[in-house]
């Protein structure tokens, strides 16, 4: 019993000494520890069995059966080396430092060492620290291993001492660093070489691409230049031809003017010659009369001298001269000297344009037929203004300051041959009164007409053309019976007024009706019931949409061939169009769709269809949208829309001559979209425009325009940037 107690005391002393040695001596590098471990193993074999041996700074003691038991070290998760020292116990208990530990008991005899009692054996684990190469190592409080630090601590006790390295180790480290540096430089050099090689290849590839792009661009520029030269040549030829025609026309007009002037000069010379001859005849007749009078006086004196007073005649009897020859017809009155400056007379025409006249000049010339007084400041037309020129056929009083109150009611009554009266751009508030019934054309545009009563056109049954544009007329100020006397009217212009509906009571024989720039919102079924001879209707710049067009408004008109519905509010191509329609203009609407079969009922078929500046897409054009027009369409304009491809059915139009698809968004250009490869008939297309789209002209097939008569008629450039 005393021996055991003594053995325990010795073990405790050795343990305390080992702990003190561990705190004073830090662990070395991994190679040193392994070397020390092997050395200590050899020393352990040489020492006596009763001497305590330190293994990993932890004592190994003998058990009761005089056997040394130990467990080899292992590596933990953090790469730390661990030594296990086993002290055998009795009956599963362990005794350490005079203290009995139960089985599975765990304790720490000193910092960074943990012991375990396992079935009478004591296994202690010491935490080994990894080697650090930094100059400053700090051991934080409560930690087992030091760490590297860049800051010098205030407390020197926390510094971990670093054992000095030998010269060989330093040289080895320097050599390793130099080798690593050389390897790093070699790696960087190879990486730079690789980067330069790739950069060179990339640069070469870019140069090849740029060269290819340059070649393509040069080729395109040459094509564009050649095309532009051809176009310029054509334009130059056209300009030369036009200039030649204009020169010929100018020469012709100059010749006509010179011939007229020559005729006027001849006429003037003849008139002057006649006047001189007339004056000479009068002078000769006067001289002859004087001579005869003198001879008679001499004879009378002789008779008186011979006969005496027997034969003397009474002095009261007058002596009659011999009869004179019949006078020549009077020459035409010369009006030129009496006209204000700026007036020119030519044959039967007198022109005083922009002559600053304030009144109609007094004229006396029964042969005058045309009077032009445009662009003056005339304010009134008196009753006797045209008494001296009763045979006038045309009068132009446009661009003056004539008011309705300034026109005498009898001003035009004596003009029995007047057929045309122009009074545009004046200040008339109503139609002039008592216009001659011979009038065929009346123009009162750009005035301030506000009302038209049923008697304003009374007796004008020969009127064919009536223009009343640019006034203040509306359906409420124009009497439904106002046009009733105009039984021969065929041409009527009512544009730039305030009409919201079609005027009522239109003449039956009306052929052309122009109602552009009004406020028309609706066309009723009865709007054109009495005008079955209508041929042209212009309704551009109004407020029409397809829902306000009555189905029976004009579908049964047999003579209506042209309708202009440009710049309205149509979203679809209108249905129920006239059967006889040939010419349809729908420019400048928000049209998005062409319904199917909308042209199918037309006979003989629509020929001119203009849909420029709309919002048409390929989804808005059905395969049957142009059904009924494939055989008749001559001109089709679909430019300035939102098409992404050539619409279906274009290649089936047999009579098409002019096609516009420019300024769209066309990208996909199919080979047979324009020309049908299965159609062997010669095409009639003479002009095709596809510029300002997104077409890649290099990908167009060489047979895409095989049906076009001339390739110079196809305009493909420029295209938009993709």
**pLDDT: which is higher, 324 or 618:** 618
CB of 145 within 8 A of CB of 127? Answer: yes
| C-alpha pair distances (Å), 351 with each of 40, 68, 334, 442 | 141, 148, 15, 19
Q: What is the mean pLDDT of residues 433-440?
A: 93
pLDDT interval class at 563 (50, 70, 90): very high
Tell me the three state secondary structure of residue 198: helix
pLDDT at 449 over 90: yes
pLDDT at 179: 86
- Cite the DSSP H helix spans in 407-520: none
Residues 663, 690: Cα–Cα separation, whole Å: 7
Give the DSSP letter of residue 95: E
Before 523, cis peptide (omega within 30)? no
Residues 332, 346: Cα–Cα separation, whole Å: 13
Residues 232, 236: Cα–Cα separation, whole Å: 6
Residues 265, 85: Cα–Cα separation, whole Å: 151
Q: What is the mean pLDDT of residues 571-591?
A: 95
pLDDT at 460 over 50: yes
Q: What is the mean pLDDT of residues 686-706?
A: 89
**Residue count (the chain):** 722
pLDDT at 664: 96
pLDDT at 413 over 50: yes
| C-alpha pair distances (Å), 311 with each of 176, 301, 302, 314, 318 | 182, 11, 11, 10, 16
Give the DSSP letter of residue 500: S
Residues 213, 226: Cα–Cα separation, whole Å: 19
Residues 500, 474: Cα–Cα separation, whole Å: 7
CB of 454 within 8 A of CB of 482? Answer: yes
**pLDDT: which is higher, 665 or 167:** 665
- On the CB side of 297, CA atoms within 13 Å amount to 6
CB of 668 within 8 A of CB of 691? Answer: no
**pLDDT: which is higher, 549 or 93:** 549
Q: What is the mean pLDDT of residues 369-377?
A: 94
Residues 259, 243: Cα–Cα separation, whole Å: 23
pLDDT at 80: 40
Question: pLDDT tens-digit profile of 214-229?
Answer: 888 888 878 888 887 8
pLDDT interval class at 300 (50, 70, 90): low
Cross-strand partners of 476: none
Residues 362, 338: Cα–Cα separation, whole Å: 9
Residues 521, 568: Cα–Cα separation, whole Å: 9
pLDDT at 225: 80
In this structure, of 2-11, 105-114, 364-373, 430-439, the range with the lowest mean pLDDT score is 2-11
pLDDT at 406 over 80: yes
**pLDDT: which is higher, 324 or 135:** 135
| C-alpha pair distances (Å), 277 with each of 111, 281, 289, 327, 332 | 160, 6, 18, 11, 16
**pLDDT: which is higher, 96 or 407:** 407
The pLDDT > 90 percentage for the chain reads: 40
pLDDT at 591: 96
Residues 344, 332: Cα–Cα separation, whole Å: 16
User: Computed from CA positions of residues 252, 254, 257, 260, in that sequence, does the dihedral angle turn out positive or negative?
Assistant: negative
In the chain, count of helices (H) and strands (E)?
Answer: 3, 28
Residues 192, 197: Cα–Cα separation, whole Å: 8
CB of 59 within 8 A of CB of 85? Answer: yes
pLDDT at 256 over 90: no
pLDDT at 74 over 60: no
Q: What is the mean pLDDT of residues 121-146?
A: 75
| C-alpha pair distances (Å), 543 with each of 43, 140, 176 | 117, 91, 92
Tell me the three state secondary structure of residue 104: coil
pLDDT at 110 over 50: yes
394-396 vs 441-443, strand pairing mode? unpaired
Please provide the distance, in angstroms rounded to a whole number, between the alpha carbons at the two ends of the chain: 105
Question: pLDDT tens-digit profile of 305-334?
Answer: 333 333 333 333 333 444 444 444 444 444
pLDDT interval class at 81 (50, 70, 90): very low
pLDDT at 53 over 50: no
Q: How many other CB atoms sit within 10 Å of the CB of residue 285?
A: 14
Residues 611, 588: Cα–Cα separation, whole Å: 8
DSSP 131-199: P---S-EE--TT-SS-EE-SS--S-GGGBPP-PPPPHHHHHHHHHHHHHHHHHHHHHHHHHHHHHHHHH
CB of 643 within 8 A of CB of 666? Answer: yes
Q: What is the mean pLDDT of residues 151-165?
A: 55
pLDDT interval class at 705 (50, 70, 90): confident
Tell me the three state secondary structure of residue 608: strand
Residues 382, 406: Cα–Cα separation, whole Å: 8
In this structure, of 40-49, 441-450, 555-564, 622-631, the range with the lowest mean pLDDT score is 40-49
Neighbour-count burial for 44-66, b at 16+ CB within 10 Å, e otherwise: beeeeeeebbbbbbbbbbbeeee
Residues 426, 432: Cα–Cα separation, whole Å: 12
Tokens for 253? 């007009």
Secondary structure of 616-670 as H, E, C letters: CCHHHECCCCCCCCCCCCCEEECCCCCCCECCCCHHHCCCCCEEECCCCCCCECC
pLDDT at 403: 94
pLDDT at 108 over 90: no
Tell me the three state secondary structure of residue 711: helix
In this structure, of 41-50, 222-231, 374-383, the range with the lowest mean pLDDT score is 41-50
- On the CB side of 464, CA atoms within 13 Å amount to 5
Residues 118, 96: Cα–Cα separation, whole Å: 13
The pLDDT > 70 percentage for the chain reads: 73
Residues 229, 406: Cα–Cα separation, whole Å: 61
Residues 377, 401: Cα–Cα separation, whole Å: 6
Question: pLDDT tens-digit profile of 2-38?
Answer: 556 666 666 666 666 555 555 444 444 433 344 343 4
In this structure, of 171-175, 278-282, 612-616, the range with the lowest mean pLDDT score is 278-282
pLDDT at 676: 78
pLDDT interval class at 581 (50, 70, 90): very high
Mean pLDDT of the chain: 78
pLDDT at 329: 43
pLDDT at 671: 85
Chain CA centroid to CA 524, Å: 36
CB of 708 within 8 A of CB of 714? Answer: yes
Tokens for 718? 């420029």
Tell me the three state secondary structure of residue 258: helix
CB of 389 within 8 A of CB of 368? Answer: yes
């Amino acid at each position: 019993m005393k021996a055991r107690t003594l053995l325990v005391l010795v073990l405790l002393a050795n343990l305390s000494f080992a702990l003190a040695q561990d705190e004073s001596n830090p662990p070395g590098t991994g190679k040193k520890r392994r070397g020390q471990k092997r050395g200590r193993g050899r020393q352990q074999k040489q020492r006596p069995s009763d001497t305590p041996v330190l293994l990993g700074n932890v004592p190994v003691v003998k058990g009761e059966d005089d056997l040394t038991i130990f467990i080899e070290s292992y590596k933990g998760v953090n790469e730390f080396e661990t030594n296990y020292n086993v002290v055998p116990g009795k009956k599963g208990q362990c005794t350490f430092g005079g203290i009995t530990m139960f089985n599975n008991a765990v304790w720490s005899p000193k910092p960074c060492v943990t012991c375990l009692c396992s079935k009478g054996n004591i296994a202690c684990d010491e935490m080994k620290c990894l080697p650090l190469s930094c100059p400053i190592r700090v051991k934080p409080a409560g930690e087992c291993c030091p760490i590297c630090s860049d800051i010098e601590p205030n407390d020197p006790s926390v510094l971990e001492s670093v054992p000095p390295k030998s010269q060989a180790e330093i040289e080895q480290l320097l050599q390793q660093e130099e080798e690593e540096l050389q390897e790093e430089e070699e790696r960087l050099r190879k990486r730079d070489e690789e980067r330069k090689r790739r950069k060179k290849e990339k640069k070469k590839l870019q140069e090849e691409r740029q060269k290819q792009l340059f070649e393509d661009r040069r080729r395109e520029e040459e094509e564009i230049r050649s095309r532009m030269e051809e176009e310029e040549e054509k334009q130059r030829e056209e300009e030369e031809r036009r200039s030649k025609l204009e020169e010929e026309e100018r020469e012709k007009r100059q010749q006509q003017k010179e011939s007229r002037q020559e005729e006027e000069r001849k006429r003037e010379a003849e008139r002057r010659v006649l006047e001189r001859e007339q004056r000479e005849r009068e002078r000769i007749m006067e001289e002859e009369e004087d001579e005869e009078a003198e001879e008679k006086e001499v004879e009378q004196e002789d008779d008186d001298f011979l006969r005496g007073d027997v034969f003397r005649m009474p002095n009261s009897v007058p002596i009659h001269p011999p009869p004179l020859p019949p006078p020549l017809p009077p020459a035409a009155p010369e009006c030129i000297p009496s006209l204000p400056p700026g007036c020119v007379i030519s044959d039967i025409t007198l022109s005083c344009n922009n002559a600053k006249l304030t009144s109609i000049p007094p004229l006396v010339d029964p042969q005058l037929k045309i009077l032009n007084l445009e662009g003056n400041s005339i304010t009134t037309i008196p009753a006797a203004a045209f008494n001296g020129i009763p045979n006038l056929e045309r009068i132009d009083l446009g661009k003056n300051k004539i008011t309705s109150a300034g026109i005498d009611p009898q001003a035009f009554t004596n003009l029995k041959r007047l057929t045309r009266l122009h009074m545009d751009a004046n200040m008339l508030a109503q139609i002039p009164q008592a216009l001659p019934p011979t009038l065929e054309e009346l123009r009162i545009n750009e005035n301030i007409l506000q009302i038209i009563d049923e008697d304003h056109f009374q007796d004008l049954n020969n009127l064919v053309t009536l223009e009343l544009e640019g006034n203040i007329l509306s359906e409420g100020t124009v009497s439904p019976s106002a046009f009733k006397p105009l039984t021969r009217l065929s041409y009527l212009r009512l544009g730039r007024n305030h009409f919201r509906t079609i005027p009522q009571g239109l003449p039956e024989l009306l052929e052309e009706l122009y109602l552009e720039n009004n406020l028309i919102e609706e066309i009723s079924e009865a709007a054109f019931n009495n005008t079955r001879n209508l041929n042209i209707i212009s309704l551009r710049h109004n407020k029409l949409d397809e829902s306000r067009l009555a189905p029976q408004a004009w579908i049964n008109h047999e003579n209506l061939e042209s309708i202009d519905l440009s710049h309205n509010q149509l979203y679809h191509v209108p249905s129920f169009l006239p059967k006889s329609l040939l010419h349809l203009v729908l420019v400048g609407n928000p049209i998005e769709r062409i319904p199917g079969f909308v042209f199918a009922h037309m006979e003989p078929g629509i020929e001119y269809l203009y849909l420029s500046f709309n919002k048409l897409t390929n989804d808005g054009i059905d395969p049957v949208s142009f059904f009924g027009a494939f055989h008749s369409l001559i001109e089709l304009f679909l430019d300035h829309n939102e098409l992404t491809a050539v619409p279906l059915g274009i290649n089936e139009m047999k009579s098409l001559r002019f096609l516009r698809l420019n300024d769209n968004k066309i990208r996909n250009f199919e080979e047979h979209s324009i020309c049908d490869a299965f159609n062997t008939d010669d095409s009639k297309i003479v002009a095709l425009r596809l510029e300002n789209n997104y077409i890649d002209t290099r990908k167009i097939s060489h047979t895409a325009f095989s049906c076009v008569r001339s390739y110079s008629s196809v305009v493909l450039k420029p295209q938009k940037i993709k």
